[in-house]
Structure 1
């Protein structure tokens, strides 16, 4: 009786071992081969200026499965959006079994306002696209806008709708002439002051700002090394008028 039970026990163990071997051959081995074949070894990042490649990688590769090139490609191509600050979307290209190229498309940011300790960045139409405690040095802060509420992904409600056209025109010109502008300030008459490093440039209120920004660019280049506090260009128009340069700590 004991021999019969032992034979049955050995037979059961053999069947279980055989099933385990078959399971490994048909399931486990393909998984191992799949993981080895598509092991992610190279991830190249293009188009990211506001986040370092390392920061982008940290936001993309979050689980062990993300270390598989094919699974990573399928995940972000068909199923999941990448959530990265100041990034609109990313496109992935599977170059080989082990290499993925990531193309980053950043959000178009025109300016920012400070609200309750946060910087809220908006696009050319005035829609808030990002909120961050981080102040981007290349994006001018807008001062003098009045608003009752600020909601992410909604439009800023300010005192004059066409102010966003003015801001867009100014930021485009600032970029064109490669000016370093920290703030764009509006007073209650909508006259504009630009903070260019240590120099305040009073440019007033105009229908267009192309001429005055071009003039300001030339003046700032000539004034390099000079200790100036203000440049008053409010009376300069059509190539005529006075430009007043006020030095730092002027003496009486």
Structure 2
């Protein structure tokens, strides 16, 4: 396949200097970041700055705008698979992995903060924010389980299954094995709906019942099953909607 003129290799290997206007633009971006981080940045400006570290000798605005146009938002770009990022003209493997690294780093920090600050399920707002930050914009369905101790603190947050845009495989036995391994006394199931529709499917309801019954045999409580949507404060709780009324 013929590489685009704007490929990473061309930019790094060709002996070109940064155009004065592009250089000045970069310095203005850096100055704004130094003063207020990303608070005053638009989505494409955030991407522009990330791409500075992949494309050192050109204007990155066209690439940033092309990525936003392709994936719809900054969140859509950051959560897109490397394989899809590479299909955007000029975005090679190194750039795609750089973009993913920024996103995965934020997930890693959130997870560590959740465990070190000991997020409690009693603070539903913080819990939902924590979950949305890492899975609301995923392009495929992902199932996670939060394993809790006797004080309702998160012991472990683990991905238990991933699938397509509409479904993912969940195995009750695997979840029970992990519950015993982590000495959990309760669990919360979580999954996202990439479509944005947070209403549970019949399959969601069925697997929740199966896991609740399996957990009960081990004296482990299924506290809730949460479906995470894309919009702020958009989620579905099985317990709040009376679909999980007992332990």
Q: Tell me the TM-score normalised to structure 2 length.
A: 0.26
With a CA cutoff of 8 Å and minimum separation of 6, indicate the structure with the bigger relative contact order: 2
TM-score (structure 1 length as normaliser):
0.26
Higher share of residues assigned helix? 2
Structure with higher strand content: 1
State which structure, 1 or 2, has the greater radius of gyration over its C-alpha atoms.
1
